[in-house]
Amino acid sequence: MKFEDMPVRIPNEKKAKAKLAKIKEKLENAQNEKEALRAVKAYFDFNDELETDCTIISIKYSINTTDEEIVKANDVVDEVMPVLGESIQEFEKALFNSKFRKAIEAKYGTLMFKRIEVGFKTFSPEIIPELVQENKLTSEYSRLMASAKLEFKGEVMNLMQIGKYLSDKDPETRMAAAKLYYGFLDENDSKIGQIYDDLVHLRDTIAHKLGFKNYVELGYLKLGRLDYNSEMVHGYREQIKRDVVPVVKKLRKRQAARLGIKNPIWLDYNLEYLSGNAKPAGDTAFLVKSAAQMYDEMSPESGKFFHFMIENNLMDLDAKAGKAGGGYMTYIPRYKSPFIFANSNGSSQDVDTLTHEVGHAFQGYLGANIKVPGERMPTLEACEIDSMSMEFFAWPWMNLFFGEQADKYRFSHLDGAISFLPYGAEVDDFQHFVYENPNATHEERCAYWSKLEKEYRPRIRYTLPVLKNGRYWMRQSHIFGSPFYYIDYTLAQVLALQFKCEMDKNREKAWKKYIKLLKMGGKYPFLELIERAHLRNPFIDGNIKKVIKPQVKVLDSFDDKSY
C-alpha cells in the first residue's frame, strides 16, 4: 500500500487494554499447546497493529510538526503507550509463567523470554507518569529544534536547510550560516538546557523507582544490551582514544595542508577541499533514480526491494519547513513496509543518508517474515552495522551520484567514517557523566563537554562564544531522545569497516556474509549475532586497530591534494 493511503488510526487506550486482556485470558485458560500458541500469535498480531498505528502517526508528525491534527494524535500516542506498558507487562508475565512455555520456546526461541525478563526490571506501573512526561519532553525538544526560522540568502530556512552552508567554499558564507545556526542554540540555551535537565531528573527518578543506583544500567537494559556493560564500553572508548584519536589528528593536519590553512578553526574542517566538497550531480529525484540503477545492479534482492520502496512512496527525503530534523528508517508491520525519512539539502550527506537508511530498510524488508515482532530487527548497534556497511557496498556506484567527483566523495566518506569514532565516543562519555551525576548544573555539563572535546577532538578550535562555552552537544538529538544510543554508531562503524576490509579483498564473499547478517534480524543478542556473522568483537583490545590500519592505507592511496 502506498504510504499516503495508509490510514491514521489513533490508539484507543480502553479498547487496546480490553483486547490484550482477552488474549491474556486465552493464554491462561489454554487447554493444550495449540491453544497457547494461538494466543501467542494473537499477541504478536496485536503488537503489530498497535506498532503500525503509532508508527504511521510518528512518521506523519516528523514530516510536518505543525499539522495540528497529527500533533494531537502524536500527543495521544505519547500518553497512551506508557500506560499500555502495564497491560503488556501483565500479558508477558502470563507468557513467562505459562505451563506451555517449553512448547512456546520450541517454536519461537528463548531470546523472547530473556527480553521479557529484562522488561520486568525496566518497567513498573509506578513509572508511568514519568514515562508520559519523558515522551512529552522529547517531543518538545523536537518541536523546538524544528521551529527555527532563519533568514539567509533571501530565504527563510530551518536548521537542516541552512546546514549545507556550513561547508560552503566561501569562508564568509560558512561563518554567516554558523552564526545563525549556533545563534539559534544560544538564543534557546535556557530552554534546551531546562528540557534536558528535566529529562535527566525524570530518568534518574525512574531508575531509583525501579531499584537501580542510577540511570546507566537501566539505560543499557532498555537498549537490549544483554551481553555487554558500561565497563566494556569504557574499555572500548579507551581503544578509540589510543588507536583512533592520533589517526584523526593526522587526518585533520592533512586536511589543513590540503586547504592551505595554517591555523584552522572548527568551521574550516567542514570544508574538505578548496574546490568545494563533493556534491551530488542532481536533486533528490536524481538521487533516487541513481539509487534505483545502483540497487538493480548490486543484486536482484536489493533491486526488488528498492523498487518496492519507490512504488509505495515509502521515502520522504527533502528538507522543508516544519519538518523534524535528522533522518531515520522505521518499519510499518501491517504493510511489511520500511519507511525512510531524511532531510536532503544538496550536500554529499544526502547520499550518505540515503545509502545509510536504505541499509536499515533493506534489513527490515528481508526480516519481514520473522515471526516474533521484537526479533525482526536487531538491537540498535547491530542495526547500524546494516546501514553503515551499505554505505561502503555502494562505493562502486558513486560515479552515478557524483560523476567526476566520485573519488573526492569516497575519500571524504572514509575519512569521515574514521574521524567520526572519537566524536561518537565523546557523546557516550558525556552521557555517562550526566547520568552518573544527575544533579550537575547545565553549566557543569557544558564544562564537562568542553573537557571531553580536548580529549577526543584536540584540534578543534572554536571562535563563537556559544561553542567555546561547551554548547555543541545541544544539537545532538540522540542525547535527548535516546540515552546511550550514540555509541552504537561507533560500534557499528568499526564492524562496517571490517566489511570494508573484506570487500576490498573479495566483494562477492563480503556481500553474501552481509545478506546472512541482515536475514538473521534480531534473533540473537549483539555479541552472539556478530559471532555468528564471523565478525570480530570490537570490545576485544586491538580489534579496532586491525580495521583502522588497512583503511588508513586506502586513504593514502588517494591523491586528495588534486581534488
Contact 223, 433 (CB under 8 A): no
CA angle, 37 as apex, 32 and 41 as ends, to 5°? 150
Q: What's the grid cell of residue 372? A: 516474533
Residues 233-258: tens digit of each pLDDT: 999 999 999 999 999 999 999 999 99
For residue 213, the model assigns a pLDDT of 96
Q: What percent of the chain has pLDDT over 70?
A: 100
Say what percent of the chain tops pLDDT 90. Answer: 92
Rounded Cα gap, residues 562 and 507, in angstroms: 28
pLDDT of 364 above 90:
yes
CA atoms of 438 and 430, how far apart (whole Å) = 12
Burial status of residue 281 (CB atoms within 10 A of its CB: 0-12, 13-18, 19 or more) = middle
Q: Please give the torsion angle defined by the CA atoms of residues 12, 15, 18 and 21, in that order, rounded to the nearest 10 degrees.
A: -50
Residues 6+ apart with CB under 8 A from 392: 496, 497, 499, 500, 503
Q: How many CA atoms lie within 13 A of 142 on its CB side?
A: 25
Contact of 175 with 152, CB cutoff 8 Å? no
DSSP-derived secondary structure for 235-278: HHHHHHHHHTHHHHHHHHHHHHHHHT-SS--GGGGG---TT---
Please say whether the beta carbons of 494 and 538 come within 8 A: yes
User: At CB < 8 A and 24+ separation, what contacts does 259-266 make?
Assistant: 263/461, 264/459, 264/461, 265/461, 265/462, 265/463, 266/460, 266/461, 266/462, 266/463, 266/467
pLDDT surpasses 90 at 164: no
Which residues lie across from 155 on neighbouring strands? 152
Cell (9 digits) for 144: 523546538
- 154-157, long-range: CB within 8 Å, 24+ apart, which pairs? 156/321
pLDDT computed for residue 160 by the predictor: 85
Domain ranges of the chain: 3-108
Backbone angles phi, psi at 326, to 5 degrees: 85, -170
Q: Is the pLDDT of residue 276 over 90?
A: no
Residue in the block written with cell 582514544: 241
CA atoms of 136 and 141, how far apart (whole Å): 9
Mean pLDDT of 287-308: 98
Q: What is the pLDDT of residues 213-239, one digit of tens each?
A: 999 999 999 998 999 999 999 999 999
In sequence order, the 6+-apart residues with CB closer than 8 A to the CB of 20 are 43, 46, 84, 87, 88, 90, 91
pLDDT at 348 over 90: no
Q: What is the CA radius of gyration of the chain?
A: 24
| Model confidence band, residue 372 (pLDDT cutoffs 50, 70, 90) | very high
Q: Which residues lie closer than 8 Å to 338 by C-beta, 6 or more apart?
A: 309, 314, 329, 330, 331, 332, 360, 361, 362, 364, 365
| Bridge partners, 332 (sequence order) | 337
What the block records as the C-alpha cell of 296 is 538493480
pLDDT level of residue 346 (50, 70, 90 thresholds): confident
CB of 527 closer than 8 Å to CB of 448: no
**Residue 187 pLDDT exceeds 90:** yes
3-state secondary structure of 300: helix
pLDDT at 39 over 90: yes
Q: SS3 for 486? A: coil
337-344 and 328-332 beta bridge pairing: antiparallel
Residue 85's pLDDT is 87
As a whole number, the mean pLDDT across the chain is 95
pTM for the whole structure: 0.88
Residues 58-111: pLDDT tens digits? 999 999 999 999 999 999 998 998 889 889 999 999 999 999 999 999 999 999
Mean pLDDT calculated for residue range 196-201: 98
Can you read off the three cell numbers belonging to residue 131?
A: 514515562
| 195 pLDDT higher than 90 | yes
Quote the cell numbers at residue 294.
545502483
Q: Give the model's confidence band at 297: pLDDT under 50 very low, under 70 low, under 90 confident, else very high.
A: very high
- Sequence-ordered list of residues with C-beta below 8 angstroms from that of 532, at least 6 positions apart, any chain: 520, 524
What's phi and psi for 458, nearest 5 deg?
A: -65, -15
Please determine, for residue 277, whether its predicted confidence score (pLDDT) is greater than 90: no
Q: Which of 234, 542, 520 is nearest to 385 (CA)?
A: 520
Nearest partner of 53 among 77, 17, 22, judged by Cα: 77
465 burial type by CB count under 10 A (0-12 exposed, 13-18 middle, 19+ buried)? exposed
As given in the structure block, the three cell numbers for residue 400 are 552515478
- State the residue for C-alpha cell 484507543: 12
Q: Please report how many Cα atoms fall inside a 13 Å half-sphere around the Cα of residue 232, on the Cβ side.
A: 13
Q: What is the mean pLDDT of residues 190-215?
A: 97
Question: How sure is the predictor about 51, in pLDDT bands with cuts at 50, 70 and 90?
Answer: very high
Q: Which residue stretches of 97-214 are H helix?
A: 101-108, 111-122, 128-146, 159-162, 171-187, 189-209
Region 119-143: mean pLDDT is: 93
CA 452 to the chain's CA centroid: 22
